[in-house]
Amino acid sequence: MVLNRIALFFTMLMLVTAQTVSAQAPDFIDLAAETTPAVVNIETTSYGQRSSRRGESDGEQRGNPHDELPEFFRRFFGPEGEGGGGGPRSRPDRRGGGSGFIIAEDGYIVTNHHVIDEADRIIVRLADRREFEAELIGSDEGSDIALLKVEAEDLPTLKFGNSTKLRQGEWVIAIGSPFNYEQTVTAGIVSAKGRTNGAQQYVPFIQTDVAINRGNSGGPLVNMKGEVVGVNSWILSSNGGYIGLSFSIPSEVAQSTLDQLRTQGYVSRGLLGVGIEDLGLEEAEALGLDRPRGALVNRVEADSAADNAGVKVGDVILEFNGQRIERFSDLPPLVGATRPGTEAELLIHRWGKEQTVTAVIDELPGAETEGSERGRRAGVARNQLGISVETIDAASRERLGDPEGGVLVTGVQSDAAYRAGLRRGDVILMINNREVGSSREFSRVVEDIETGKTVALLVFRNGTTTFLAYTPERED
Q: Quick: pLDDT tens for 292-314.
A: 999 999 999 999 999 999 999 99
Which of the residues are catalytic? 114, 144, 217
Q: Over pLDDT 90: what percentage of the chain?
A: 49
Over residues 328-359, the pLDDT tens digits come to: 989 999 999 898 889 999 999 998 899 999 99
pLDDT of 371 over the 70 cut? no
Q: Kindly report the average pLDDT of the chain as a whole number.
A: 82
CATH architecture of structural domain 270-363 = Roll (2.30)
Question: Distances in Å between the alpha carbon of 7 and those of 18, 279, 460?
Answer: 17, 61, 80
pLDDT of 39 over the 60 cut? yes
Least confident interval from 80-94, 234-248, 274-288, 291-305: 80-94
The dihedral formed by the CA atoms of 150, 154, 156 and 161, expressed in degrees to the nearest 10: 90
Question: Distances in Å between the alpha carbon of 409 and those of 122, 264, 267, 268?
Answer: 24, 18, 19, 20
pTM for the model stands at 0.66
Strand 121-125 with 274-277, pairing: unpaired
- Distance between CA atoms of residues 302 and 217, nearest Å: 39
Confidence grade of residue 151 (pLDDT, cut at 50, 70, 90)? very high
As annotated, the residues of the chain forming the CATH 2.30.42.10 domain(s) are: 270-363, 378-470
As annotated, the residues of the chain forming the CATH 2.40.10.120 domain(s) are: 25-264
pLDDT of 166 over the 90 cut? yes
**Residue 427 burial by Cβ neighbours in a 10 Å radius (0-12, 13-18, 19+):** buried
Round to the nearest angstrom and report the end-to-end CA distance of the chain: 98
The matching CATH number, chosen from 1.10.760.10, 2.30.42.10, 2.60.40.10, 1.25.40.10, for 378-470 is 2.30.42.10
DSSP 15: H
Over residues 182-200, the pLDDT tens digits come to: 999 999 999 999 998 877 8
- Distance between CA atoms of residues 279 and 347, nearest Å: 16
The fold of 25-264 is Thrombin, subunit H (2.40.10)
Question: Distances in Å between the alpha carbon of 461 and those of 58, 64, 261, 414, 426?
Answer: 18, 14, 23, 19, 6
Over residues 64-88, the pLDDT tens digits come to: 434 333 333 444 444 443 334 444 4
Of 476 and 154, the one with more pLDDT? 154
pLDDT of 361 over the 90 cut? yes
Tabulate helix, strand, coil % of the chain (nearest 5). Answer: 20, 30, 45
Q: Annotate 293-316 with b (16+ C-beta within 10 A) or e (fewer).
A: bbbbbeebeeebbbbebebeeebb
